[in-house]
Amino acid sequence: MKVGVIGGGQLGRMLALAGTPLGMQFTFLDPAADACAAALGEHLHADYSSPEHLQQLAQSVDLVTFEFESVPAETVAYLEQFVPVYPSAQALRIARDRWFEKSMFKDLGIPTTEFADVLSQADLDAAVAQIGLPAVLKTRTLGYDGKGQKVLREPADVVDAFAYLGNVPCILEGFVAFSGEVSLVAVRGRDGEVCCYPLVHNVHHEGILHLSLASDQHPLQALAQDYAQRVLNELEYVGVLAFEFFEVDGGLKANEIAPRVHNSGHWTIEGAQCSQFENHLRAVAGLPLGSVEKVGHSGMLNFIGSIPATADVLAVADCHLHDYSKAFKPGRKVGHVTVRSESEAQLKQQIAALEALLSS
Ligand SMILES: Nc1ncnc2c1ncn2[C@@H]1O[C@H](COP(=O)(O)OP(=O)(O)O)[C@@H](O)[C@H]1O
Ligand SMILES: [Mg+2]
């Protein structure tokens, strides 16, 4: 089976690493000359909205999927005329826009923080009067890793905040004083079967994911799965969908969804029976889904900007390094490591040893 992937970053690379043993072949559409997935398949080096290259992609593959949500929805809608695309253009249209996704949460009875649409500085002033401070102003589209957002703590922060984010459509969200952040990676097959991995506890540094820990029978697992199921059914979703939640007062508030494999699911490569990458491919290809059971205890640590010496990382017990072969740059995700253990206490020690490498 030939799979076309919109985007050729590390997520595309890990999709190919999971799909190659299943006999799949990959073509990545990515305008970046140094797209790191290119080592694992064919690279269509072109813009996402070039009709000529979209045609070329559609004609050379059996289906198309994507590895990031900032693909123009028109690109996917165009491709859908010629080749099956999973998830659908409609799912992408909603998941890539914070206003649409939060409105969907509200319609489906999924708790989320108070929010308002902001199309001008005047709208922002009115939204702040309604929601109060602190609050977070976010661009509706294209934000990632904490980019495209500004925390507003006092009235002086509100002045010019709309211009600061580039005078583009935004939403204002009430600031959530959360006790923790968790995510749920779910997968839905073409036949509607749904499987969910164990909830993952996430720690962010400066808006970028730092550490993910797979939980053991989290008390909020059933609630998270109920919310996920509502969204998956609403969107008639096919593939992996990740949900980010805030833990508040023993319950959950939905933060955002990502219509793709997700950084907080990277631990599943070594930490679960079947990884999120393989399950995404199984789902879009109409194959039976694999087991989402975890194997022992595991966590994932991101390498941002640079990667410590390989030998130092591998000296830590049961560590699995993923170097994306990307140029080192501050703030850029360049690799991660999955660490596994028989016991939670031991896992903590292994993670502490890895964190020491980051600060050395
Ligand atoms: N409304 C909010 N209240 C408090 N913290 C927030 C809020 N929104 C985002 N954050 C913090 O910023 C991080 C990144 O924001 P998020 O909306 O998930 O954007 P991104 O697309 O960059 O992941 C979140 O994981 C959380 O730590
Ligand atoms: Mg997020």
Residue 136 lies in a domain: yes
Q: 144: pLDDT confidence band, cut at 50, 70 and 90? A: confident
In this model, does residue 74 exceed pLDDT 90? Answer: no
Report d(CA 269, CA 230) in Å as an integer: 26
Q: Is 328 helix (H, G, I), strand (E, B) or coil?
A: coil
Residue 22 and residue 129 share a domain: no
- Check residue 337 and give its pLDDT: 98
**Atom 21 of ligand 1: nearest residue by CA position:** 144
**Which of 136, 153, 172 has most ligand 1 atoms within 8 Å of CB, for mutation?**
136
Structure tokens at 86: 């999973």
* Alpha carbon separation from 112 to 94, 176, 245, 247, 320 (Å, rounded): 16, 9, 9, 11, 35
Of 65, 85, 105, the last residue of a domain is: 85
For ligand 1, say whether the CB of 113 is within 6 Å of any of its atoms. Answer: yes
Same domain, 231 and 351: yes
3-state secondary structure of 185: strand
What atom in ligand 1 is closest to the CA of residue 146? 22
Provide the pLDDT confidence category of residue 212 given band limits of 50, 70 and 90.
very high
CATH of the domain at 65: 3.40.50.20
Whether 20 is in a domain gets the answer yes
pLDDT digits (tens, 9 = 90+) for 241-282: 999 999 999 999 999 999 999 999 999 999 999 999 999 999
Q: Stretch 214-225: mean pLDDT, rounded?
A: 96
CATH number, position 283: 3.30.470.20
Kindly state the DSSP code that residue 58 receives in the 8-state scheme: H
Cα(274)–Cα(295) distance, rounded to whole angstroms?
A: 10
Q: Are residues 186 and 295 in the same domain?
A: yes
Are 32 and 163 contained in the same domain? no
| pLDDT tops 80 at residue 228 | yes
- Quote the percentage of the chain above a pLDDT of 90: 94
In a domain, 202, yes or no: yes
Same domain, 170 and 185: no
Q: Is residue 97 part of a domain?
A: no
Q: Are strands 2-6 and 63-66 parallel, antiparallel or unpaired?
A: parallel
- Is residue 146 over pLDDT 90? no
How many domains does the chain fold into? 3
DSSP string, 68-101: -TTS-HHHHHHHHTTS-BSS-HHHHHHHT-HHHH
For tokens 């249209």, what's the residue? 93
| Whether residue 138 is found in the same domain as residue 68 | no
> Both 54 and 150 in a single domain?
no
* 257/212 same-domain check: yes
- 23 pLDDT band, cuts 50/70/90, is very high
Judge if the beta carbon of residue 207 lies within 6 A of ligand 1: yes
Residue 284, domain member (yes or no): yes
- pLDDT, averaged across the chain: 96
Determine whether the shortest distance from the Cβ of 150 to ligand 1 is under 6 A.
no
DSSP H helices in the chain? 10-19, 51-60, 73-80, 89-95, 98-107, 121-131, 155-158, 161-164, 221-234, 268-271, 276-284, 310-314, 344-359
- Between CA 97 and CA 99 the distance in angstroms is 6
Question: pLDDT by residue (tens digit) across 329-344?
Answer: 999 999 999 999 999 9
Q: Is residue 63 part of a domain?
A: yes
Q: 38: burial class by Cβ within 10 Å (0-12, 13-18, 19+)? A: buried
Centroid of ligand 2 to alpha carbon of 247 (angstroms): 14
Q: Does the pLDDT value for residue 69 go beyond 90? A: no
335 plus 246 within the same structural domain: yes
Name the domain boundary from 132, 158, 174.
174
Of 222 and 145, the structure prediction assigns the larger pLDDT to 222
Residues 214 and 187 in one domain: yes
**Do residues 151 and 73 both lie within one domain?**
no
Distance from C-alpha of 193 to C-alpha of 173, rounded to nearest angstrom:
33
- Mean pLDDT lowest among 65-74, 150-159, 282-291: 65-74
Residues 43 and 184 in one domain: no
Residue 95 inside a domain? The answer is: no
Half-sphere exposure (CA, 13 Å, Cβ side) for 177? 4
The pLDDT, as a whole number, for residue 359 is 83
Examine residue 312 and state whether it is found in any structural domain, yes or no: yes
The domain of 323 spans: 180-359
The string of DSSP letters for 195-254 reads EEPPPEEEEEETTEEEEEEE-SS-TTHHHHHHHHHHHHHHTT--EEEEEEEEEETTEEEE
Contact call for residues 187 and 194 (beta carbons, < 8 A): yes
Identify the pLDDT of residue 360: 73
In this prediction, residues 42-65 reach a mean pLDDT of 95
